[in-house]
């Protein structure tokens, strides 16, 4: 398995790149989010990769961030979602936006991506619930402190849905401790 490429960027033809690694040119398919953050031609580039092996081809996919690659791997595990569709999803929305759409169960945001219909969007929501969402940054992909994460997990353990827990978390001031955060979140939920 090829897990990482480091070399000189020779060509950029969306969504494909050509990366020279010590004299060997690798064709790499990348999502547009990675493509927009690439250096100029002739400069050094480092990509995390995922190799897909099929009967008729070995296809290398590249990503600028580990979380993009992890989401890609989750997507291709879903029945009916191939590597090209997964690349299209990651090109159509950021990991944080996808995570948020999964958490809030918003199929409408997914159907805006070319190639994703209503049934596919619903399958994505079902298959990725609990795998993305709260796990990858829940409230819009923001990095949370341990206390905020603990409060969110406590609300989920109490039986509140991801959507309810996220809405309640918006009422908790940043920097609140775990016990204060839980109290404030429960208070917000009781008013809703």
**Token digits of residue 88:** 């299209």
Question: If you count DSSP H runs as helices and E runs as strands, how many of each does the chain have, helices first?
Answer: 9, 5
- pLDDT exceeds cutoff 60 at 135: no
| 102-111 tens-digit pLDDT | 888 888 889 9
| 175-190 tens-digit pLDDT | 778 888 888 888 888 8
Strands 58-63 and 24-29: parallel
**Token digits of residue 115:** 């190639």
Q: What is the pLDDT of residue 43?
A: 96
Spatial distance between the Cα atoms of 133 and 71, rounded to a whole number of angstroms:
11
β strands within the chain, DSSP E: 4-13, 16-21, 24-29, 44-53, 58-63
- pLDDT exceeds cutoff 50 at 142: no
Spatial distance between the Cα atoms of 61 and 29, rounded to a whole number of angstroms:
5
List, in order of start, the domains of the chain with CATH numbers.
4-63 (2.40.50.140), 67-135 (1.10.150.20), 144-191 (1.10.8)
Q: What is the pLDDT of residue 146?
A: 60
The 8-class DSSP code of residue 131 comes to T
| 42-74 tens-digit pLDDT | 999 999 999 999 899 999 999 999 999 999 999
Nearest to 145 by CA among 174, 169, 185, 186: 174
Strand partners, 192: none
β strands within 78-122, DSSP E: none
**Cβ burial, residue 150 (10 Å; 0-12/13-18/19+):** middle
Spatial distance between the Cα atoms of 146 and 178, rounded to a whole number of angstroms:
9
Query: How many other β-carbons are positioned within 10 Å of the β-carbon of residue 137?
Result: 19
Model-wide pTM > 0.75: no
Three-state secondary structure call for residue 122: helix
Query: Each residue of 30-44: b (16+ CB within 10 Å) or e?
Result: bbebbbeebeeeeee
């Amino acid at each position: 398995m090829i897990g990482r490429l480091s070399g000189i960027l020779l060509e950029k033809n969306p969504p494909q790149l050509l990366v020279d690694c010590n004299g060997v040119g690798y064709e790499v398919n990348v999502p547009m989010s990675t493509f927009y953050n690439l250096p100029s031609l002739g400069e050094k580039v480092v990509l995390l990769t995922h190799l897909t092996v099929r009967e008729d081809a070995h296809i290398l996919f590249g990503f600028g961030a580990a979380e993009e690659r992890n989401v890609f791997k989750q997507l291709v595990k879903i029945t009916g979602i191939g590597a090209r569709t997964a690349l299209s999803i990651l090109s159509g929305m950021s990991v944080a936006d996808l995570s948020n759409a999964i958490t809030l169960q918003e199929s409408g945001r997914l159907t805006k991506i070319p190639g994703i219909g209503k049934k596919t969007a619903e399958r994505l929501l079902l298959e990725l619930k609990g795998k993305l969402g709260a796990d990858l940054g829940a409230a819009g992909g923001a990095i949370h402190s341990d206390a905020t994460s603990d409060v969110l997990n406590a609300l989920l353990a109490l039986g509140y849905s991801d959507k309810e827990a996220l809405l309640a978390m918006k009422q908790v001031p940043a920097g609140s401790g775990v016990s204060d955060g839980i109290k404030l979140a429960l208070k917000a939920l009781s008013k809703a």
